Structure 1
Amino acid sequence: MKLKILSIALSITLTACTAQQVNNEAMTAKDMAVVNAEPTHNMQAVLTTEQQLTKQDKIAQHKITLEQIMADPDWMGRSPESWYWGDDNHTVLYKQKQPGNPLRDLHKINLLARDNNEQTQQRNTLVALADLHHVDDKYAQLNQTGSHKVYTFQGDVFVKNIATGQVIQLTSTSSRASAAIFLLNGEVAYRIADVFYSHNLTNGRVTELASLVLKDEKTLVKEPATYLAKEQHKLIDYIALEHRNKKLKTEKKQRIIEQNNAVSDTKFYLGKDKRIRHASLSPRGDKLFISITDNKPSRAATDIMPNYITATGDIAAEKVRARVANNRKYEEQLWVIDLVSGKKSSLSYKDLPDYDTDVLANVKRENHERKGLKYKTEKQPRKIHLLQMRNAVKWSADGTEVALMLEAWDNKTRWLSTVDFKTNRLVTQHKLHDDAWINWSFNEFGWMNNNDKFDLYFLSEQSGYSHLYIKKLSGKAQQLTSGSFEVSNVHFSSLHNRFTFKANKKHPGIYEIYQVDLSKQLTALTNLGGMNDYQLSPDESKLLIEHSTVTMPPELYVIDLNERNEAKRITFTVSDEFLAMPWSAPNVVAIPSSNQNMPIYSKVYLPENYDLKKNKNKAVMFSHGAGYLQNSHLGWSGYFREFMFHSMLVQQGYVVIDMDYRASKGYGRDWRTAIYRHMGSVEVEDMQDGVNWLIENANVAPERIGTYGGSYGGFLTLMSMFTQPELFASGSALRLVSDWAYYNHGYTSNILNTPKDDAIAYERSSPIYFAEGLAKPLLINAPMVDDNVFFEDSVRLVQRLIELEKQDFETAIYPVEPHGFVQPSSWLDEYRRIYKLFETTL
């Protein structure tokens, strides 16, 4: 279905959405090549007089200024955050930032109530602080019948009767409770520190289920072992008597525990110098799954961040993260504790296929050969641990099965496994291997819990894109979705035997909500365009949607799935001042690539009459951060200041391009892994194609193009200017990475392995090794309390440039700023310098 190109003044015009339109997903190749980023909506809204101004009127009335767009973003409005359904299907809650400070308030919307405001048609009330414990339950867990929910609030445990709304507080202590669940016997279980408890709601009895002790288990009475000890027991009656008495007491205590149900010993010793990483209790309350690791710091003592501006006036050497060059190999030991028998059993990784494969053999061989050495590969156990995700351990509804998501320390293999409790062995249900690296996204999995059968579902990139699979524990996996799009945010409905998910099916930059049943029948639930996230109502009859477009920050909408009517907007948080501004809505263009088959999707901002000017246009290329991030989508961007800056530049006659270079999110596995072992190479090739497109299609002069970006975008600014010095006339690198050996392990080792194993990858991917190529003006903007990309990266690069006798660079430092700037004064200073650079050099 072609997207309608609307003017910004009609950006929230009501457009009906029929069931036929919802299911018509196909877009032509022409539609996908150039998509106007102004929103197409099928939602209910009311236009204010200010919103009905024409684009020309807005431009005449409002000039976009740096002072305005870099001010505290509260002026734009304060979008809904942490939104969720209440106890029923007509109550929605969300948090909203207070103006002028970082505090958040909780708001409640009654979808059935009406007030005098014809625009909202719903009653929006602020939840009083005294009532928060009744409704601040976003992560509550239901009991088997769905009649009650349990949750924690401010560290205490609460149970709510959903029908009556009655709330009972189970704990009131200074200790913080967590992981509250309903057990199958109707009791509530929760964790305080490393102790698990069950709470009987009928008689109020609290029972300790397990106490995890990080010490070595000690036998209270040891038999004499050495020659001297044995002689002492034989020759000295006092010693022998004391030993006998202690032994008798210990044996009697054990018999009391074994023969008296009222007494139990729930201590389980996990060993000294250990740390608990995960602990998950079965819904039956009969088993506990835990993972532990050595209690050693992953960072070196030298991995610190100096903070020069402190309240005391002293320099604080803050311990932050480890550098990848220093990070130690990490693994976890897995245990299952039978709380009925008291037996503790370890789980061996030897049951995982390829657990001992030398997956880096070729990489190590290449690095050895460079040194004139030979590498001999050999099998040895890989370091393995639970995947670092929110729920890496999931129990089936009846508590008889547990599923785990495991990964290797080398980032090359992921195992979805279950546990055979009879033999205490890991059973591999799915193995995903990637010669580059396993994506840290698209690892969702869970139990279908349908009709007393407990089948698994999971996401996998094995086809090249993230898709949904289901699997019986003793059968083969079945793929439910397929195509050149990415599936995420999966929810299984046992009521309807189908899955709901988010996907960019009709265009890489448009994310809609879909459902698929077990026969692979796919249905589109939304047709809103832009970016959409969702949550199903308790009875799964409605969708709560966070919807945004390129020019419109997120707001909340509701769709009734039974009636299939238009989406109704229920929040109005964007300010009139923001809506009145003449923002430039870019086109999303599929730029042909000279290096591979897929196009490079890019936002292109064009000034009026750009193609009629006698003097060729000047242009700026922006490179987004994070590497694996999508910014050329049609929703609201986290780079909202940059969007407003680009609108300002367009108003002054600039052309702006924002590319989803290779490594960006949203385009499949091959696009993501194209940078493996050589970051900054293919991305600069894509930047070259973007420059060529500007010259050929946007009337841009090749000598009047500048570039800038932060974080990964700062890295690409450096790589492009150092390795292709004629590509840009100038550039600004913000919070830049100059040497990947100094960045963190979690991100960097995925792409470049580790410096110890793959020094070649680090040297050809780090800008500091190519600094001699700088030939055009460079502005370095560096925050000093950046615990993500250390200030050290900028300091070392500056020293390198000084030693290379480079003069055409400047450095601006920001003493109180972290990676993401906070102070409006810093944002303004930074972008004034960037703007001045482009005005001076382009």
Structure 2
Amino acid sequence: MKKHFILLSVLLFSFASQAQLTVEKIMQEPYKWIGTSPSNIFWSEDSKTIYFSWNPDKNKADSLYKIVLPNHTPVKVTPKERRALPAQTGTYNRDNSLKVYEKQGELYLMYCKTLKIKQLTNTIERESNPYFNGDETKVIFSRAGNVFSLNLADGLISQLSNFIVGSKKAEAKVSEEEKWLKADQLAMFEILKERKAKKDETEKNTKADQPKRPKEIYLEGKNLEVPMVSPDMRYITYRLSTPAVGAKATIVPSYVTESGFTEDLPARTKVGSPMTSYDSYVYDTRKDTVYQISTKDLVGLTQQPEFLKDYQKQSDTTKKKPANRKLIITAPNWSDNGSNAVVVVRSFDNKDRWLMLLDPATGKLKLLDRQHDEAWIGGPGMGFTLSAGNIGWVDEQTLYFQSEAEGYSHLYTVNVLTGEKKQLTTGKFEVQQAQLSKDKQWFYLTTNEVHPGETHFYKMAVSGGERTKITSLVGGNDATLSPDESTIALRYSYMNKPWELFVQENIPAAKAEQLTSSLTDEFKAYAWKEPQIITFKARDGVDIYARIYEPAKKLKNKKAVVFVHGAGYLQNVHKWWSQYFREYMFHNLLVDKGYTVLDIDYRASSGYGRDVRTGIYRFMGGKDLTDNVDGAKLLVDKYGIDPKKIGIYGGSYGGFITLMALFTTPDVFAAGAALRPVTDWAAYNHGYTANILNEPQNDSLAYRKSSPIYHAAGLKGHLLICHGMVDVNVHIQDSYRLVQRLIELKKENWEMASYPMEDHGFVEPTSWMDEYKRILKLFEERLK
């Protein structure tokens, strides 16, 4: 009996020891101790097999697995089978019986019913971007900067465009003297006249015998982009980009290298740098002529943004005519039969998006929809500068698209001939994904209408109306529909349960059956906490969502940590497994030590519509910061936290907010860890920053308010800065400039750790361990 008691005691001690969290444990290689969730889900064309990346064997990299339904057992795909699989992406014909795709630079045709694959090309040059022409007798593709057609009946390849790099050589100018001498010679000598006539006749006949070639289009030093052939093969649309002059790229030195020498890594330009310009054209093959797509009649072409009024002098009475705004036009989206084409036009300042009907015969545009935002255009399905976003054709006249016109991203249709628009979804939620069924009778939607932090899969008639909820598991439901639309491969997770693969019939409330089990026994040995999702009122009355992690009463030490997620436009207060899984585990460790942890979806976070998304316009470190400050007040008022024992930390945008918190609200947070932080927004990239703060040369007030380096004198609490030295996103120069500022301000309550081999997202477990040991030490020592 005594022996059994000792053995049981040893086992219980071993289990308790195994379940105890340490920084070393939670920051080790995830695939070794957590396990690897399935990812990259796709179906076979016959809807019988689910493929996915997975790593149950704890190898250094994921492998491809498959499950052949109705069997539910995962099987590793052999290298030979994997190499023979078709590409996941491709283009289908109208009845989905054929799929054309590119793989390893060659073109293939798949017969979807039999899964038979036919290779179409075998060349040294790469073929890409294949799609069917209007009558589906040919495959259009790109090769070496030109577009070609391949006849499926006889394999004949025809070149459709003749884009030529460089400039057309100008003919040498002939002087008046030379012209006179030539005419005089021909008039004087009959033999010269006869020989010239014979030569001219030969050249004429030779030219007549040659097959007709596409028009030579010289690029004149510009770059060719997105050449596309219309379904009837009459028109070729394309875009030319002109690289900016004087755009200076930054350099990131890499010190620890294989060569033993310091090597420079190429990096980005900074916000406000000169931008590439774009022009779009139509080549009419029937008329053998090229013309530019005209935007001169665009509504709002010269409209100036409201923020410029802050810089107008009261005495300035001059009224200069505003210049045309810089624009970019996407490639046309053609209806199935090619009777209509729509392009998306976006302004460089991203305050306007126009949906335009293109008349390819004239290059003229007709307005279908304009979305204007004095902040910036964004949200699910809206695309970005070079992307049209989620648009497509219900029929030859009806286009569907997404818009934030009413404050949340919703689904709309417009009749391109009559201009009649219809809103298909409405409410205070986002349509995060939308796809049309193959028979074009239904939309399949992913929305967060149940809760901002919960996603589900729905079915809705193409005309709108009631939505039928298909999934029922509480959490995150990432659905991949089978080609025959009968079954869903469901990647599902909950707050304290990482992603696993499930399968479910595509009918409401059908049971979702789990197919994978990815977690290690060691990871499952710990009882991972389920944070409570709460809301609180910000100072301006807006509801703010947050996760709260509370310790047991006997452990509570009246200390708290506020976590600030990165990216700005990102959601972390949700019911699925967080992409910040290391931080989630660190929060569990903190709670075990008696800390209360608050994780806030502050203003600018995704999932809550336009007003939250743009709440930081022209002032980063404004409402996004006060939301976190209001959260700290909540900790004191409701959760019994000592106001002198609150810390804050985060990475990237979270690091930026941490700096702004310590510099501009120094009495709220006793300590903070700023990881890979932006310290001066004028040093960040254009695509992200110009949306929010405009350009520094045009809106310096916004940059001054929003950049921590200008507020560093306010530091009172203790600051830890951690930064990777080969960060090509937020350059370590940002942190070095701030360090120099702190030195000159004679601040002593800070420290910095740099990581010679880490980019923006750390990779090495030892780096993660070192960083989070420093963060834990900071809170343990400074929140006394």
Instruction: Pick the aligned partner of 1:216 from 159, 162, 167.
Output: 167
* SS of equivalent to 2:247: coil
- Higher deviation after alignment, 79-88 or 91-100: 91-100
Cα deviation for residue 175 of structure 1 reads 2.2
Q: Per-residue deviation at 1:783? A: 0.8
The amino acid across from 1:294 in the alignment is T
SS at match of 2:436: strand
Give the stretch that moved more between structures: 82-91 or 290-299. 290-299
Which residue matches 2:121? Answer: 171
Does the aligned pair in 1 maintain the 2:379–2:609 contact within 8 Å? no
Give the counterpart of 1:726 among 663, 667, 672. Answer: 667
Cα displacement string for residues 552-572 of structure 1 (whole angstroms, at most 9, x for unaligned residues): 222222221247521122222
Tell me how far apart the structure 2 counterparts of residues 681 and 241 of structure 1 sit (CA, whole Å): 86
Instruction: Determine which of 155, 176, 180 is the counterpart of 1:227.
Output: 176
Match of 1:574 among 499, 519, 538: 519
Match of 2:482 among 512, 531, 537: 537
Range that drifts further, 311-320 or 655-664: 311-320
Classify 1:242/1:677 alpha carbon distance in 2 versus 1 (closer, same or farther; 3 Å).
Answer: farther
Q: CA deviation at 1:694?
A: 0.8
Contact 2:471 2:508 in 1 (8 A): no
Contact between 2:19 and 2:522, CA under 8 Å: does it hold in 1?
no
Structure 1 residue aligned with 2:703: 762
Q: Partner amino acid for 1:538?
A: P
- Which of residues 280, 285, 292 is equivalent to 1:339? 285
1:716 aligns with 2:657: yes
Equivalents in 2 of 1:243, 1:432: separation in Å?
64
Cα displacement (A) at 1:773: 0.2
Q: Tell me if 1:442 matches 2:381.
A: yes
Aligned to 2:31: 74
Q: CA deviation at 1:375?
A: 7.5
Whether 1:109 and 2:67 are equivalent positions in the alignment is yes
Q: Does 1:157 align with 2:103?
A: no
- The AA in structure 1 aligned to 2:24 is E
CA distance in 2, matches of 1:298, 1:481: 46
> Does the 8 A contact of 1:368 with 1:375 survive in 2?
no
**Cα distance in 1 between the residues matched to 2:457 and 2:318:** 50
- Deviation string 1:280-304 (CA, Å, 9 cap, x unpaired) is 2333333222111113468305x22
Q: Which residue is 1:841 aligned to? A: 782
User: 1:539-584: per-residue Cα shift (whole Å, max 9, x none)?
Assistant: 2222222211111222222221247521122222333332222211
For residue 481 of structure 1, what is the aligned residue in structure 2?
425
- Partner Cα distance (2:160, 2:439) in 1: 33
Q: Percent identity?
A: 37
Distance, in Å, in 1 between the alignment partners of 2:269 and 2:194 is: 55
1:194-593 pair list within 5 angstroms: 194-218=145-169, 222=171, 224=173, 226-231=175-180, 233-234=182-183, 251-252=204-205, 254-257=207-210, 263-296=211-244, 299-301=247-249, 303-325=250-272, 327-357=273-303, 359-360=304-305, 362-369=306-313, 376-386=319-329, 393-439=332-378, 441-443=380-382, 444-450=389-395, 453-473=396-416, 474-495=418-439, 497-517=441-461, 518-562=463-507, 564-593=509-538
Gaps of 5+ in 2: 1-11, 383-388
Go from structure 1 to structure 2 and tell me whether the alpha carbon gap of 1:713 and 1:337 turns closer, same or farther (over 3 Å shift). Answer: same
Per-residue deviation, 1:316: 1.9
Give the alignment's TM-score, normalised by structure 1: 0.85
Give RMSD over aligned pairs. 2.6
Q: What is the Cα deviation at residue 667 of structure 1?
A: 0.8
Q: How far apart, in 2, do the equivalents of 1:566 and 1:628 lie?
A: 34
Give the stretch that moved more between structures: 131-140 or 783-792.
Answer: 131-140
- The 1:185–1:246 alpha-carbon spacing in structure 2 relative to 1, beyond 3 Å, is farther
Change (3 A) 1:57 1:592: farther
CA 1:583–1:297: 2 relative to 1, 3 Å:
farther
Q: 1:134 to 1:189 in 2, by over 3 A?
A: farther
Which of 16, 21, 24 aligns to 1:64? It is 21
For residue 697 of structure 1, give the secondary structure of its aligned residue in structure 2: helix
Distance 1:213 1:576, change over 3 A: farther
Alignment-derived partner of residue 667 in structure 1: 608
SS in 1 for 2:643: strand
Q: Which structure has more RCO (C-alpha within 8 Å, separation ≥ 6)?
A: 1
The number of residue pairs the alignment matches comes to 758
Instruction: Supply the distance in 2 between the matched residues of 1:269 and 1:606 (Cα, whole angstroms).
Output: 67
Q: Secondary structure of the equivalent of 2:160?
A: strand
The residue matched to 1:350 in structure 2 has which SS?
coil
Q: 1:111 to 1:298 in 2, by over 3 A?
A: farther
Post-superposition offset of 1:424: 2.1
1:778 counterpart = 2:719 = yes
Gaps in structure 1 of 5+ consecutive residues? 1-54, 115-121, 258-262
Partner letter of residue 117 of structure 2?
A: V
Distance in 2, Cα, partners of 1:699 & 1:276: 62
Q: CA-to-partner distance for each residue in 1:745-798, whole Å, 9 max, x for gaps? A: 000000000011111111110000000000110000011111110111001000
Q: Is the 8 A contact 2:244 2:275 kept in 1?
A: no
Change (3 A) 1:734 1:375: farther
What residue in structure 2 maps to residue 621 of structure 1? Answer: 562
Conserved? CA contact 1:542–1:559, under 8 Å: yes
- The answer to whether the 8 Å contact 2:397/2:415 transfers is yes
Deviation of the 1:634 alpha carbon: 1.0
Q: Deviations over 1:491-531 (max 9, x none)?
A: 01252612111111011111111122214122111122211
- Matched-pair contact (CA < 8 Å) for 1:148–1:161: yes
| Alignment partner, residue 3 of structure 2 | none
In 1, Cα distance between equivalents of 2:202 and 2:759: 60
1:482 and 1:629 mapped to 2: Cα distance?
Answer: 22
Counterpart in 2 of 1:831?
772
Q: Is the 8 Å Cα contact of residues 734 and 781 (structure 1) preserved in structure 2?
A: yes
Alignment partners' CA distance in 1, 2:282 and 2:60: 42
2:585 matched residue in structure 1: 644
CA spacing shift, 1:69–1:312, aligned 2, 3 Å: same
Q: How does 1:786-805 map to 2 (within 5 A)?
A: 786-805=727-746
State the distance in 1 between where 2:329 and 2:458 align: 30
